[in-house]
Amino acid sequence: MVSMNRLSATERVQVIKCLCEGMSIRSTVRITGIAKNTVVKLLCDMGCACADYHHRTVWNLTVQRLQCDEIWSIVGAKKKNVTPEQEAEGWGDVWTWTAIDADTKFCVTYFVGDRGKHSAFAFMEDCASRINGRLQITTDAHKPYLAAVEKAFGGDADYAQLHKIYGASEANEARYSPATCIGCEMKTVSGVPDPKHVSTSYVERQNLTMRMSMRRFTRLTNAFSKKVENHGHMVALYFAYYNFCRVHSTLRVTPAMEAGLADHIWSVEELVELLPEPKAKKRGPYKKRAA
C-alpha cells in the first residue's frame, strides 16, 4: 500500500477519478493499491479545496430559472436506528439541498444538513447571495421553502411550488420505491411565475446523477457514509467535478462553460491542482546522540 506522503500527482488523479465515477473507498483501494487512510485523507483535502474554490468563484451569476430540491441519504444508520450519542456525532438521516440553473445546468449552491427550516434558510440565503437580478424559482411543496425563499429573495423572485400527488400503495406491497405519481399541482407563492417553466425536472435528474456518481448515496447497501464530515467532502468534490469537468450530454460543454465561469473543459488533473501545495517540514537542530 502507498502512503500519503509518497502519493504522486498521477496517483492522486487516479484516486479522484475512481471516487468521481461512483466507486467506494474500499473499491478505490483495491483498484489503485493505495492505503485506505491515504484515500480518505485525499478525499478530505479535495473536499475542502473544492468547497473553497466554489465559494471563491461562484458569484454574480445571471440565472433566469432556478430549480431546487433535496436528496436523502444516511450517515451511520437511519435516524430511527441511532442512539442519542450517535445522533450527536452526526449519525442519522442527512439531506443534500441542491439548486440548479435550468438553462446552464450549473449547480449554483449545495448544502448538507437536515431537512428543517434552519437548513432551508442557510441554503436559500447562500443561493441568493450568488445570483444577480430577478429570477423564477421552482421547488417542491416542502414547507420550509416558503419562509426561506421569502427571506432570501424578498420580492426579487417569481416563486412557484410544484406539489406532486401520489396514488395510494396497495396494502400488501413490499417494494422499496415511492408510490406512483398521478398528477401535479402548481401553486404560485410570489410574483408572476411562467407556468411553462414551473418544473423540477432538471434538478431531480441531477439528483439521480448524484446517486449514480457517489457510492455513498446508493440505497439498500452498506456503502453509506460513516462520518458526516466525509459525506460533505464527497459532495463538494462531486459538484466541482460535475460543474467543471463533466460534459453535459445536452449542452455538449460543461455547466461551468455554459454559465461563463470556465473557457474549457477541466481535466481531473486541473481539479487536483486545486489542492494547496504541501508545506515543507522544517527539521529541528541536529542533536548528537549520547553514547
| Least-confidence region, from 36-50, 63-77, 153-167, 212-226 | 153-167
**Mean pLDDT calculated for residue range 12-36:** 96
What average pLDDT does the segment 104-121 reach? 97
Q: Where are the domains of the chain?
A: 4-272
The mean pLDDT of the chain is: 91
Q: How far is CA 227 from CA 3, 18, 93, 155, in A?
A: 21, 20, 12, 39
What's the CA gap between 12 and 179, in Å, rounded? Answer: 43
Closest to 206 in 3D by CA, of 243, 259, 180, 252: 243
Q: Would residue 92 be called left, alpha or beta, if left means φ above 0 and alpha means ψ between -120 and 50 degrees?
A: left
**So what's the pLDDT on residue 157?**
96
- What CATH number is given for 4-272 in this structure? 3.30.420
Instruction: Residue 72: name the closest of 21, 112, 105, 104 by CA.
Output: 112
Contacts of 79 (CB under 8 A, 6+ apart): 87, 92, 93
Report pTM.
0.90
Q: Which whole number is the average pLDDT over 174-199?
A: 84
- Taking only the tens place, the pLDDT of each residue in 207-265 is 999 999 999 999 888 999 999 999 999 999 999 999 999 999 999 999 999 999 999 99
According to the 3-state scheme, what is the secondary structure of 197-247?
A: HCCCHHHHHHHHHHHHHCHHHCCCCCCCECCHHHHHHHHHHHHHHHHHCCC
| CA 35 to the chain's CA centroid | 25
